[in-house]
Chains A and B, each alone.
Chain A
Amino acid sequence: MREMLRVEDLWLSLGEKQVLKGVNFSMNYGEVHMLFGPNGAGKTSFIMALMGFPRYRVDQGKIYFKGEDVTERDIHERAKLGMGISFQRPPTVRGVTLRKFTELILNGKGREEIMGIAERLNLLDHLDRGLNEGFSGGEMKRSELFQLMVQRPDLVFIDEPESGVDLENIALVGDAINSLLGKDKVKDPKRGAIIITHTGYILDYVNADKGYIIFDGTLVCGGNPRDILSEIKRFGYKRCAVCR
C-alpha cells in the first residue's frame, strides 16, 4: 500500500507554547487512524498543522502529502491537493449561507448533488442559513461533513466527531464519515482519515486501522485502536507518562 502522508520530526508552537515535540507519523492511502489523548496533549494542534493553519507554527520537521513536501504550502493549497478538515468548533460566518458556500466549493456546479447530500444529512432547512449560525452541536458536525462531502478530499482530519452530538445523531455522523471515505459502497482505496476521539463512540460506526495516543506533544504508542481505547478506559492516561 502506498504512503499518503508522512510527518518527520514535527516540532510545533502555538504562541509561546511548544505543543508538539518531534512527532513522526505516516499513513497509507485508504487508512483510518484514530488519535487519543488527554485535553491539551496536542491532538488538535497536530491536525491543524497538517492542514496548514499558520497559528500553528512549524519550528522544525517536514510534512509530505502524496509524496510532495507541503510544509510551506498554505491552507488553500493543501485543500486543493486533497486535504480536508472537520472542525470541532467551526466559526460562525454570518451572511455566507451553507448553500452559497458549497456552491462556491463546487465553482457553481453540482447544485443537484448539493441538494442530495443536504437531504441525506438532514440539512435542507439549513442551506439558507449563515455558516454555523445558531447551529446545534449535531448540526455543526453534520454541516462540517456535508461541506467535506461536497469538497471530496482524499485525506480528512476529523476533530471529535462525537462532541456535542446526541447518541441518535452519532450514527448519522458515523454514516456520513463512512460515506465521505467511500466505505459505504465498494471500498475506496484512496481516501483516508485521521480522527480525534475522546470517547471512542465513533469506533462503533467507523472501522479504524490504527490508533495512537498523543501525550504531552509526542506520539507515545500506536496499535489496535480498540485495544488502546480499552487501556485508556481502564487506566486513563497516567501510564502514558511512564510508557514514553
Chain B
Amino acid sequence: MSISKAFLSDIREKAEGAKEKKAALGPDIDLSRYSHHIERGRIESLEGLPQQAREAATMAGIDVKEETRSGSYIQVDHSVVYERLNKGYEGKLEIMSTTEALRRYDWLEDYYWKAVPVDQDKYTAQAEINMTHGYFIRILPHQKLDYPVQACLLVAENHVSQNVHNMIIVEEGAELQVITGCALSKSDAEGIHVGVSEFYVKKGGKLFFTMIHNWADNFHVRPRTGAIVEEDGMLFSTYVLLKPVKSIQMFPTVYLRGNRASAKFNAILYGLKDSYIDIGSRVVLEGEDTRGESIARVIAGDESVIYSRGDLIAKTKEYCIAHLDCRGILSSTRGRIYAIPQLISDGASKAELSHEASIGPIAEEQVEYLMSRGVSREDAISVITSGFLNLDIPYLPQFLDRNIKEVIKATAKESM
C-alpha cells in the first residue's frame, strides 16, 4: 500500500514554504537555471552504458561487470536506467527507486523526511517538489551479504538539476555495505545534483557507506544527509572527492539515538582549480555510551577554497565520547583552507569531546628525505600527498580501497 496522500501533501506544503530559503552555508544557487528535464531508456546491463558514462561510473567505484556486487541501482539524469538484485539475495535485500518504494510501502511514513527536514532549505524543498527518484535499499533483519550494493547517480546533460531522495534501511542485526558513485559523464556540463539521503540503522545493525564524487568545473552539488542509529548500531561513512567541482556544500548529520550506537566519518578531499568545497560532518550523541569519530584529510591546491567542518554535539547525561581530527595541506599560495571544529556539550556532564586540527604545507624536510633515496622531487611530493590522503580505512572492501588509492595517486600526479 502506498504512502498516504495526506502525508505527502503535508510534506509538500512544508517544501513549498522553503522553496526560497537559502542554505545556512555555501553560495546560493539559482535553481531556475537548471530546468532541463531528460528521460533515458532502460539498459540491460551496465556494460550497455555509453562509454563516457561507463568510464565515469568506473572512476566513481562502480563495478560495471557486477561480479563483486550484491545488487546495483543506476540512474542517469532523471531516469532509473538499471536495477538489479542478485538472485541469491531475494527476500533478504530490496533495491528499487524511492519513488517505487513510496508506492509500495505505507510504513515509509515513519522514515520519509524523518532524518532530514524537508524545509531545511531550498535544496531539500527542490528534492521534494521536483523529485527525480533516488535509490531505496533495505536489508532485512539479521541478513549479511557477501558483497556490497552499488548505486550510481550520473548526470549526462547540460542544465540538469538531478534531485534524488535516497533511503537506506538496515533492519535489526543486519549488515550492509553500500558504494555510491556520483559523477558527471559530460565533463563540461553545467548543472546541479541535489541529493537527499536518509539512513536508518536499527538495533545492532551496521552500515558501511562509501561515497565517491567525481564532478567537474561547472557543476554544483548540494547533498543533504541525515542518519539515525539505534541501540548498538553502527554507521561507518567514507566520502571521497578528488576532482574539481564548482561548488559543493554538505554537512551530513548522524543522530546516535540508541545506547552504544556509534558512527565514524572519514572524508578525503582534494581541492583543485577554483573548487568551492564546504564539507563537514555532525555527530549528535543522544544515547548512553555512544561513540563518534570524524576524520578529514584535506588538500587545497590551485585556487580552491575548502571549509572542513566538524560538529560533535553531546546531549546525553550519561557517558559518551567523540573525537574530531582534521588535517589539511595547503599546496598552493592561492588556495584557502578553513578548519572549523566545534564541540558542544549540551548538559552532557559526562561527555568526553575532543578535537585536533592542523593546516600546513607539504614539509620540505619530508620531500628532501625521500629525494635522498634517489626519488625525484615530483615523485616525492606525489607519494607524500597520496600517503597523506590514504586513511587506510578499515572494513573498506579491498578492491575499493585499491580503487581509491589509485584515484588518489593519479590525482596527486595530475595536480603536480
Q: Measuring CB to CB, which residues of chain A are less than 8 angstroms from any residue of chain B? A: 51, 53-54, 74-76, 79-80, 84-85, 87, 90-91, 93-97, 100-101, 104-105, 130-131, 147-148, 151
Contacts and interface: CB of A to CB of B under 8 A. Distances in A.
24 contacts: A51-B372, A74-B371, A76-B371, A76-B372, A76-B375, A76-B376, A79-B371, A79-B373, A79-B374, A85-B372, A87-B369, A91-B365, A91-B366, A93-B366, A93-B369, A93-B370, A95-B384, A95-B386, A95-B387, A96-B370, A96-B386, A100-B383, A104-B375, A105-B373
B376 A93 contact: no
Contact of A147 (B366, B373, B377): B373
A75 B368 contact: yes
Contacts of B369: 87, 90-91, 93, 131
Interface of B, helix, strand, loop or mixed by DSSP = helix
Contact of B374 (A94, A100, A151): A151
A94 B375 contact: no
A86 B386 CA distance: 24
B364 to A, nearest CB: 9
A84 B373 contact: yes
B228 to A, nearest CB: 33
B252 to A, nearest CB: 25
A113 B374 CA distance: 18
Given A95-B384, A100-B387, 18 more contacts: A74-B371, A74-B377, A75-B368, A76-B376, A76-B380, A79-B375, A91-B366, A93-B384, A95-B387, A95-B389, A96-B383, A96-B384, A96-B387, A100-B383, A104-B375, A105-B374, A147-B373, A151-B374
B390 interface: yes
Interface string B346-363: 000000000000000001
Contacts of B363: 91
Contact of A104 (B366, B379, B388): B379
A-B pairs with the 3 shortest C-beta distances? Answer: A95-B387, A79-B374, A96-B387
A79 B372 contact: yes
B376 to A, nearest CB: 5
A84 B383 contact: no
Give the residue among B366, B371, B374, B380 with the most A Cβ atoms within 10 A.
B374
Contacts of A54: 368
B150 to A, nearest CB: 27
B373 A94 contact: no
Nearest to B375: A104
Interface in B383-402: 383-384, 386-390
A80 B377 CA distance: 13
A100 to B, nearest CB: 7
Listed residue (B368, B373, B384, B389) with the most chain A CB atoms within 10 angstroms of its CB: B373
Contacts of A87: 369
B388 A75 contact: no
A54 B364 CA distance: 10
Nearest to A105: B373
A96 B381 CA distance: 11
Choose among A80, A85, A101 the residue with the greatest number of B CB atoms under 10 Å from its CB: A101
A91 B369 CA distance: 7
Nearest to B390: A95
Interface in B314-369: 363, 365-366, 368-369
A105 B387 contact: no
Contact of B387 (A74, A93, A147): A93
B374 A76 contact: yes
Contacts of B384: 93, 95-96
Nearest to A76: B371
A100 B409 CA distance: 13
A80 B363 CA distance: 22
Contact of B388 (A76, A80, A94, A100): A94
A96 B373 CA distance: 14
Q: Which of A53, A75, A79, A105 has the most CB of B within 10 A?
A: A75
A131 B371 CA distance: 14
Contacts of B389: 95
Contacts of A100: 383, 387
Contact of B371 (A75, A93, A97, A148): A75
A184 to B, nearest CB: 22
Most buried by A among B379, B389, B390: B390
A151 B366 contact: no
Contacts of B376: 76
Contacts of A95: 384, 386-390
Contacts of A147: 373
Interface in B149-196: none
B387 A94 contact: yes
A80 B376 CA distance: 9
B372 A104 contact: no
A229 B375 CA distance: 36
B301 to A, nearest CB: 17
A223 B395 CA distance: 60
Contact of B368 (A53, A101, A104, A130): A53
